[in-house]
A = this chain, B = another copy of it.
């Protein structure tokens, strides 16, 4: 059994983002052949491909920072639930299409702010990657924003479903901003992230005629310590099955 422990603080910081993108990619991949229209199927695949792409690039940096003790694939396919550090938001299921776009938008606004700050990071490769990612996310954000407006202002049913998805997933936005020392080391201004995120989502609430759910003090166990919703374990069971079942195989 290969044991993958990430110890370098910069790698710890990056793997949080990498894991989040890969798990979101996995959720988007689930939508393949299940979208409302063929055009949307193609659009969601695009978003998924972008997630996997940047997830992989980030994982290469993580792997390099850990002296290539493991490959990016090892990192994705051989860590267990407690060794994953994705945000819980991206683990949430595709209960209906409203969940898909709400999850995407809340994520997009958040990572926009993260990558904006990383775009000027002194680590050249990371900075370059972040600049590229910002363009992808901008597209994704517009896409999910547009859908939220259409759903929020479409029919009674679409409004109700979208508000419901928001109410449920809102719970997983709090932890995004509970930055720890590691975050604060690599992000230039963590306060700005929360402030800008709030601007971004409030703009959407107004445009889509949706209600901002109440912010509450919660106890949901921090993703930075590898705490997850119960969904993650099930995602990993599928995702990791083959490499786990055939440990000697190359794919």
Which residue numbers of A lie inside 8 Å of B, CB to CB?
Answer: 1, 80, 234, 236-238, 240-241, 244-248
Copies of this protein chain in the complex = 2
Contact of A234 among B238, B244, B248 (CB under 8 A): B238
Kindly state the separation between the CA atoms of A241 and B241 in the bound complex, as whole angstroms.
6
A240, A245, A246, A248: most-surrounded residue (chain B CB, <10 A): A245
Interface contact A241-B237, CB-CB below 8 Å: yes
Complex Cα–Cα for A245 and B245 (A)? 7
Chain B residue at minimum C-beta to C-beta distance from A249: B1
Q: How far is the CB of A140 from chain B (nearest CB, A)?
A: 28
Q: Within the complex, what minimum Cβ distance (angstroms) separates A12 from chain B?
A: 23
Chain B residues with Cβ under 8 A from A246's Cβ? Answer: 1
Pick the contact of A244: B238, B241, B248 (CB < 8 A).
B241
- Given A237-B237, A238-B234, A238-B237, do A1 and B247 touch, yes or no (CB 8 Å)? yes
What are 17 residue pairs bridging A and B, where the CB atoms are less than 8 Å apart in the complex? A1-B246, A1-B247, A1-B248, A80-B245, A234-B238, A236-B241, A237-B237, A237-B238, A237-B241, A238-B238, A240-B241, A240-B245, A241-B241, A241-B244, A244-B244, A244-B245, A247-B247
